[in-house]
Chains A and B, each alone.
Chain A
Amino acid sequence: MSEPMHDLAAAYALHALDDLERARFEHHVETCPECAEEVAQMAETAAALAATVAEEPPAAMRGRVLAAIESVPQEGAAPAPSIEEAPAVRRVVTPVWSWIAVAAVLAVAVLSWTALRSTDTVEDVLAAPDAVRSAAVATDDGAGRFASATVVHSAELGQAVLIVDGLAAVGDDRTYEAWVIDATSVSPAGLFVPDEDGAARIQIEGTVGPGVIVAVTEETAGGADTPQGAVLFTAEVDA
């Protein structure tokens, strides 16, 4: 990993990470019980900090909220995503730390509500009310590279975006290529080169839906029709 993640729990709980840092840390937390534990404790501390600035809201708010809940349905328990086996790539099911997932879902919801004016497809997907984020799982390619990546999918827009961070630079004659993998096919989904910080955001070409796997390989410049390089990481699109 390009930097220690363990020192980000406080910043995460304080909401002092930007979107990319947050996605990266959430990816890390899924496989780091120590960090998950630390985030939980930091959240308790942050709540105590919030309590020091408690202030009664206007009295009228109470009546409005209590009236509103009568017509607001509650979420059911999160359904288990139905996933079909994809033969080409090992399917990776990441344990979802639901507490963070709720925060992430809310963050996406808020993002969607504040960024409606964007015309960029990438931004539209990130801001979509129904956007679902799926963290990628990295594969050790033997070169010591470690990337974190998130796929954000909007069923309503029929589009998905891949957000990558911490990816090593490639030479001029090389490129990264994204792939969309479903039960029956492996399709090229776009070429990209990360910026100097190893970050990239690309619109995924092709049809993406729940259960589909987005993978990334390194290829020769110009890309390939079928993956030639090793899979660096995969993300399974959540329902």
Chain B
Amino acid sequence: MTIAVPLTLPIPSLFRPRLNRGRRRLAWYLMQPNDAAHGWRAKDGGAVLTELLVSVAGGDTDAFAQLYDRMAAVVFGVIKRVLVDPTMSEEVAQDVMLEVWRNAPRFEATRGSASAWITTIAHRRAVDRVRSEQAMRDRLDRVSAMEETAIDDVEDQVMRAADRSAMSEAMENLNGDQRRALELAYFGGLTQTEIAGTLGVPLGTVKSRMRQGMITLRVALEATR
């Protein structure tokens, strides 16, 4: 599938020294034992969330209410970012929260954080929904529309969150090509093959941009914790 969409993907030269530093840091990071790589997981509210989810697994409805208060905004936010439609997003978010309740006994804290477990479910369901919806409508329309609005939207998001979120800043600092690939995948719900078609670049390039983008974000995130 090829979608003709005009794109400008500037790679400002001022990013290059930063990227080189990032690569060296990445090499170091990837050589660290798992414990070092995971160190940040247990910090912040992660431990609290995990405790709550474990309680939820035991049928604790009060714990679920607390879990809801901590995670509903992320669940709804990421779903709405993918689906756009607020009503559909609410419907899916509600299903996801019920899924969290139902499947909480299957959560294993040793496999990852509670927030990642919940967010994965939310995003998966949003992506499945958008792909099925787009099969019924004209999916390409939506992609084109996203191409026109995504940058403004993301910059708006980044501006609002800049001082509060290290992740937003890391996203802002990302290589433009990598950020674009991540946006189309994570917020656009496209497959890697569709992204390659949309951007007019080889699939291998898309894989590489997503992977390096994610790792760069991870390293940036790690650096702030």
Which A residues fall within an 8 A CB radius of B?
7-11, 13-18, 21, 37, 40-58, 61-62, 64-66, 68-70, 72-78, 97-99, 102-103, 106-107, 110-111, 114-115
Contacts and interface: CB of A to CB of B under 8 A. Distances in A.
Contact of A7 (B73, B90, B211): B211
Given A99-B112, A102-B103, A18 B125 contact: no
Interface string B121-134: 11111011100100
B102 A75 contact: yes
B202 to A, nearest CB: 13
Contact of B221 (A45, A50, A68): A45
A8 B192 CA distance: 10
Interface stretch (B2-10, B14-22, B57-65): B57-65
B176 interface: no
B164 to A, nearest CB: 9
A11 B210 contact: yes
B146 interface: no
Interface in B46-71: 57, 59, 61, 64-65, 68-69
30 contacts: A10-B211, A10-B214, A11-B210, A11-B211, A14-B185, A15-B186, A16-B191, A17-B191, A17-B192, A41-B37, A43-B120, A45-B214, A46-B123, A49-B182, A52-B157, A52-B167, A52-B168, A53-B77, A55-B76, A66-B65, A68-B94, A69-B101, A74-B57, A74-B59, A74-B102, A98-B111, A99-B112, A107-B124, A110-B125, A111-B128
Contacts of A47: 74, 113, 115-116, 118-120
Contacts of B168: 52
A15 B124 contact: yes
Interface string B205-219: 001101101110110
Contacts of A110: 124-125, 128-129
A74 B61 CA distance: 11
Contact of B73 (A43, A57, A115): A57
A72 B101 contact: yes
Main secondary structure of the interface of B (DSSP, over half): helix
What are the nearest 4 A-B pairs in CB distance? A114-B132, A57-B76, A55-B77, A110-B128
Given A50-B122, A58-B90, 15 more contacts: A11-B210, A14-B210, A43-B120, A45-B214, A46-B116, A47-B115, A49-B217, A53-B157, A55-B77, A62-B68, A66-B65, A74-B57, A74-B105, A76-B105, A107-B124
Contact of A99 (B101, B108, B186): B108
A49 B128 contact: no
Nearest to B30: A38
A75 B74 contact: no
B193 interface: yes
B77 A70 contact: no
Contacts, number: 208
A48 B221 contact: yes
Name the residue among A15, A41, A107, A111 with the largest chain B CB count within 10 angstroms.
A15
Contacts of A70: 61
B185 A11 contact: yes
Q: Is the interface of A mostly helix, strand, loop or mixed?
A: helix
A16 B185 contact: yes
Contacts of A57: 72-73, 75-76, 90, 93
Contacts of B143: none
Given A43-B112, A43-B116, A66-B68, A49 B186 contact: yes
Nearest to A39: B112
A68 B72 contact: no
A148 to B, nearest CB: 17
A142 to B, nearest CB: 29
A166 B173 CA distance: 38
